[in-house]
Amino acid sequence: MNPQEAKDWIKSIASDDIQEPKNFEEQALKFIGKDLYESFFKGYTKKQWGCEPSSLPASILKRLPIRFNYDDNYFSHKYQGMPRDGYTYLVQNILSHENIAIKLTTKFDALLKNEFDHIIWTGKLDEWFDYKKGHLGYRTLDFIKFEAEGDFQGTAVMNYGNEEVPFTRISEHKHFTPWEEHHRTIYFKEYSRACTEKDIPYYPIRLVDDKKILDEYIKLARDERGVTFAGRLATYRYMDMDVTIREALDLSKKMLKDIVQGKLIESFYHQEGIS
């Protein structure tokens, strides 16, 4: 098929009786039809999120593009890149500033906010409020490391859509930096599961049924003084990392501008994407 023929074919198999998709599954059926949805999305989604796709919001799928060319990049951005010396070096340079103090293995308590002029909270939204309105759902990830000679899979990331394969994807990191040469390789199998109190939360689930609890926390967050809620966990939104970093940079510029102008830093809860 040429691009136009492919577009016409997708249109012919997509479900046209769903006008306003209410969840992930309906969005997929409207997007690409039943056969492609079940072949590429259904199994992977159940593994990734640990629930039926019909329980997830449609917004999760809306962020993925359908392309009619040979571009196999995840993003359609004009400029894409990786830090030349890696993210570890980049973060080390940020944290090495003389005005930054780091405290590891130190649990933060909301009562400590009285000791600081302002707090940027990037932890779980419900944790800040001591779960007073109930628990929101989060997922965590397990990474199993493997080493091999040469090249294992020929690409940085390979997704496994079949439900019977227990892991969601394999990442082979040397392919992220093609300007380097490595004779050996390291790759990780990635497993998704429900996040417990002892786990590191990676991203919010945003189940359709969580909306009532989420709305209660959003009201509390907007009334909280002296605190800025930022990032995936604190605003309870599933965002790609480029969007997360963009928001962090914009927020930093705004706060620094307020400080220079002698203004009191306003509390902030990002509203975009909350539905």
Is pLDDT of 275 > 50?
no
Q: For the chain, which residues make up each domain, given as ranges?
A: 3-62, 87-137+200-269, 139-194
**Residue 261 vs residues 76, 147, 227, 254: alpha-carbon distances, Å:** 38, 53, 19, 11
Residues in the chain: 275
Between 5-9, 69-73, 127-131, the lowest mean confidence (pLDDT) is in 69-73
Q: Span 189-199, mean pLDDT?
A: 93
Parallel, antiparallel or unpaired: strands 119-121 and 227-229: parallel
Amino acid residing at 197: E
Under 8 Å between Cβ of 72 and 53: no
Say if residue 136's pLDDT is above 50: yes
What is the average pLDDT score of the chain?
Answer: 88
Chain-centre distance for alpha carbon 6: 30
What's the pTM value of the predicted model, to 2 decimals?
Answer: 0.81
CATH topology of domain 87-137+200-269: Rossmann fold (3.40.50)
Over residues 2-59, the pLDDT tens digits come to 999 999 999 999 988 888 888 899 999 998 999 999 999 999 999 999 989 998 888 8
Q: Assign 272 a pLDDT band (cuts: 50, 70, 90).
A: very low
Neighbours of 213 (CB within 10 A): 19
* Residue 183 scores a pLDDT above 80: yes
| Active-site residue list | 63, 67, 139, 169, 190, 238, 240
* CA-based nearest residue to 162, from 44, 8, 12, 31: 44
Taking every pair of C-alpha atoms in the chain, what is the biggest distance, in angstroms? Answer: 64
CB 208 within 8 A of CB 55: yes
Between the ranges 118-122, 186-190, 201-205, where is the mean pLDDT highest? 186-190
Q: Which of 9, 37, 5 is nearest to 24 (CA)?
A: 37
Tell me the three state secondary structure of residue 185. Answer: strand
Distances (CA, A) of 184 to 51, 142, 173, 207: 37, 23, 11, 41
Euclidean distance between CA atoms 191 and 200, whole angstroms: 13
Region 231-238: what's the mean pLDDT? Answer: 90
What was the pLDDT predicted at 56? 86
Residues forming a β-bridge with 172: 187
